[in-house]
Amino acid sequence: MRGRRQPGLQYGLVLLASQAMNYGIDKIPPTTLIGMAVQSLLYAGLIQVPWNPEDVCISTFKVLKYKEWRTIFLSNFEHGSDMHLYYNMISFLLKGSFLEPMYGTANFAILIGLLSLGCGMMYVGLGHVLTLITDDYSYSTACAIGFSAVLFALKVIVVCEEHDRPHNVGGFRVPSKFAVWAELVLIHMLVPNSSFIGHLGGILVGCLYCYTFVGEIIDSKVAMLTGRPIIHEEQFYRRRFIRIF
């Protein structure tokens, strides 16, 4: 069973709790709050699970060679450091607080689960394709954990819902349709060790949901399960896929 990552109280966890309280615990939608709490408690070792973070990091090689299917889902919810967790959860707080009231708690919870699966599968697929194209096996063996891919997918969805509102990326005002791509580049300039494949995969999953028939299928199946349709802003699916590039 997994214990604490490091002895003592970690700054990122304290900072996250402080930010959540400043925002207002009662103002955080249920699925978003539970997601933040579960991932924080998981990182702190207060939720006991029969694996270590390195056991469930995802790589194309692990999944295709050793059939480590669980990593497709579980890798999204583990984190490598307290600050990694902090930045991801603050991002989730903002995105979840915008989308969850619009979609409904149950719908948003199911959507998060589906995005997590989709991001894991996209990571494996991209790693395999890039290995074949470049003959560089590091794309297949790179092992990643964290919620960032799901956050990039959510970022695409937020951009879709907000239409053409400009976004601030690194101090620059960027049109919404370019914001996720600018953020992808900026993050990998500032944090070279971050997972480019994971983040790119998250963007592509978000694009599939927003700009293709896949999103309509997901929405219809989710509505069948919860009894409540997911309501989007006007013309959510009418935007053309090409506009995001």
Helix (H, G, I), strand (E, B) or coil at 167: strand
**Cα gap 23→136, rounded to integer Å:** 45
CA 118-103-225 angle, 5° bins: 70
Element (H, E) at 172: strand 172-174
In 13-170, where do the E strands start and end? 167-169
Cβ–Cβ under 8 Å, residues 67 and 73: no
Nearest to 20 by CA among 34, 10, 9: 34
Active site residues: 148, 199
Nearest to 178 by CA among 91, 241, 244: 244
